[in-house]
Structure 1
Amino acid sequence: MRNNLFVRGVYILFITVLLYACAKDKGYYSPISQEAIYKGNLYSYLKSKPGIYDSLVKVIDRIGLQKKLEDSTVTLFALTNANFQLAIQNLNNTLSISDKPAQYLNSVKYEILDSLLCQYIIQGRIASDSLNSQDGKDVRGIRYGYPMHIGLNKQSSSGYINGGPTIVDFSDTRRSVFNRNWVTTETSSLNIQTDNAVVHVLNPDHVFGFNKFVSQIIYIPPPENLFIKFKGLGSASKETSGGPNAVEASKYVFDGNPETKFFLSSPGQFYLQWDFPVEVLANSYTLRSANDIQDRDPTDWTLQGLDGESGKWILLDSRQGEEFDERFQLRVFFFTNTKTYKAYRLNIARMHGGNDFQLADWTMNRNQ
């Protein structure tokens, strides 16, 4: 009898504890935001975390952002040492394949570190509770105004939708309005407060530079601030059937907007041309693929420069079998040139897999 009473007592105690636990958490995890507060500016905060932000501080010092992080109101998507280590490993694995020397944060070109890091620093304080809009926020990085996007992402827990931890999605829009073209990473912690900033820490598996760190160092494509872009008057030997003001007219291949394009139906061979007010010395050009069918991408072409003395078109570059692996992909093509020309002509000879042609953008440049 005594044993039965003991067992019954244990059973009742177990049921009571179980019911109390279920009543306490209501069957799901409801996270409480615990915001860390640091008394000091953002730069001081990063310096106060040795072993975590050493690489970030090194890059900040190299590109001269210390004062900005000391006295400006910003939001930082903080990169830890792990994020930079992944980027450097990927870079040196790529360089070793072609027997090129390894590079590190103290040897990578200033312009590359500058353009990439500035994407992670947003003007103004943006805490996670200001992101309740379903569409999130379109924001821009400091210095160069590169378009980024921030969105709230509430995870599920114990089968309860939105009952789990809250994270923030941070996206490189790649200058596209379509989120299918974005590259997105997530935060591991949120809303660290300093005197002048909000800090959201990125997951350790994020690679610094999103998918651009390695490609920019090997110049496919280079960062925009590494180029001198020449401005002139663009034209084409053939126009789209809707005329020069159609939605896919030739003028859009010269406008620098990746969301617009030039489209021609079965044009055969034709050319695009840049005319400049004065002769310019170009040694590179960029082409950006357009938004849809890959078969319309150019694959064979030649580049010519107009010699002002003889009036002849001089062959500067020739390409065959080129491919654009992605939509809105910007590729750079280098050629050897020591002479100035007043006009440059891109002769399109063949498309990737059909007769129709499309291209988002073409620029003539000189790499610094």
Structure 2
Amino acid sequence: MAKEPVYKGNLYSYLKSKPGVYDSLVKVIDRIGLQKKLQDSTVTLFALTNANFQLAVQNLNNTLNVSDKPAQYLNSVKYEILDSLMCQYIIQGRISSDSLTNQDGKDVLGIRYGYPMHIGLNRQASSGYMNGGPTIVDFSDTRRSVFNRNWVTTETSSLNIQTDNAVVHVLNPDHVFGFNKFVSQIIYIPPPENLFKTIGGVGSASKETSGGPNAVEASKYVFDGNPETKFFLSSPGQFYIQWDFLVAVAANSYTLRSANDIQQRDPTDWTLQGWNEETSKWDLLDTKKDEAFDERFQLRVFFFTNTRAYKTYRLNIARMYGGSDFQLADWTMNRNQ
């Protein structure tokens, strides 16, 4: 049996000893102030090579270029983004592959912020034998979901490198730093002023979940601002959800947040209306078709042109992404400052 690679020194020194491999990783570690953690704490690192960071930066700048925005690099990206994403790859304690014999793997937390990740053992097939090939480790961003179908998983290219204070598993070169969240977090558009919080009002729906208004997935949860709750309907057909504000207010944006479960239940076609008290008719404010939520718990902001104040706004759901069932974590009406 081959001996595991061993480096005599701490994890930070090991990374510094590999120029041309971990230069970008060291740059990020230095920038977010994790040197000491990698020198004197017992950790497991899922190591990102230069290639992993290069893919992320390339994807970012391709996206920024489309919008005629200046390019960004690891030394200019917001500290908070690098910090939160990098901390997902460092786990407290030593976790070698032979400790993952449990079929279900191991739930772990990233350092500093306790972000939930998952590590699992994966034995590859070889020469016609199941589990007869090399062993790799699957490393997953759970997206805070208990359903592994919502996870984003990457694989290791080498395992169990030992330093004085750490175990290192090296990720495949095709892994993109940030589990595809790097670009979306940088170009994320924060929602404008939430009118429910500033104006006050009541949310309602034309159809209620089968368990009634107090069920765990009732309509009230699409208005509560909590991404962990949701409104679910089984094969509702066309229906609407509605905000009634205490006073008339001119909204010109709204947000929708995808829920925890499968993408097929996300809304994809809808219209937004405002009740015009002068004409006693609904005014059409926005129409969307073939929209998609690429991630679970994804918050999207939609802007529309409007100067008229309405007390009532209605979102008419016409179609779901891939089926008849509906789910949505949150809906807000907003006003740009």
For the aligned pair, the TM-score class normalised by the smaller chain equals 0.7 to 0.9
- For 1:1-368, list aligned pairs within 5 A: 32-219=1-188, 236-238=203-205, 239-253=208-222, 254=224, 256-258=226-228, 260-264=229-233, 265=236, 268-272=239-243, 285=255, 287-289=257-259, 291-292=261-262, 294=264, 297=267, 299-300=269-270, 320-321=288-289, 323-326=291-294, 328=296, 330-333=298-301, 347-352=314-319, 357-362=326-331
Instruction: Answer yes or no: is the 8 Å Cα contact 2:64–2:70 preserved in 1.
Output: yes
Give the aligned CA root-mean-square deviation in angstroms: 3.8
Count of matched residue pairs: 307
Q: 1:64 to 1:298 in 2, by over 3 A?
A: same
SS of equivalent to 1:96: helix
Deviations 1:213-235 (A, max 9, x none): 22222217x7xxx9999997996
Instruction: Answer yes or no: is the 8 Å Cα contact 1:286–1:332 preserved in 2.
Output: yes
SS of equivalent to 2:144: coil
Whole-angstrom distance in 2 between the partners of 1:121 and 1:324: 32
Whole-angstrom distance in 2 between the partners of 1:118 and 1:273: 42
When normalised by structure 1's length, the TM-score is 0.70
Q: 1:231 to 1:37 in 2, by over 3 A?
A: farther
Name stretches of at least 5 consecutive residues in structure 2 with no aligned partner: 247-252, 275-284, 305-310
When normalised by structure 2's length, the TM-score is 0.76
Instruction: Answer yes or no: is the 8 Å Cα contact 2:238–2:318 preserved in 1.
Output: no
SS of equivalent to 1:237: strand
SS of equivalent to 2:62: helix
Q: Which residue of 2 aligns with 1:28?
A: none
By how many angstroms is 1:169 displaced? 0.7
By how many angstroms is 1:257 displaced? 4.7
Q: 1:33 to 1:187 in 2, by over 3 A?
A: farther
Q: 1:82 to 1:268 in 2, by over 3 A?
A: closer
Q: Which range moved further: 57-66 or 153-162?
A: 153-162
Whole-angstrom distance in 2 between the partners of 1:112 and 1:95: 16
Task: Indicate the structure (1 or 2) with the bigger Cα radius of gyration.
Answer: 1
Whole-angstrom distance in 1 between the partners of 2:204 and 2:172: 50
Q: 1:246 to 1:59 in 2, by over 3 A?
A: same
Give the share of equivalent positions with the same residue, in percent.
Answer: 69
Instruction: Answer yes or no: is the 8 Å Cα contact 1:284–1:334 preserved in 2.
Output: yes
Amino acid at match of 1:68: K
Q: Which residue of 1 aligns with 2:279?
A: none
Whole-angstrom distance in 2 between the partners of 1:273 and 1:78: 51
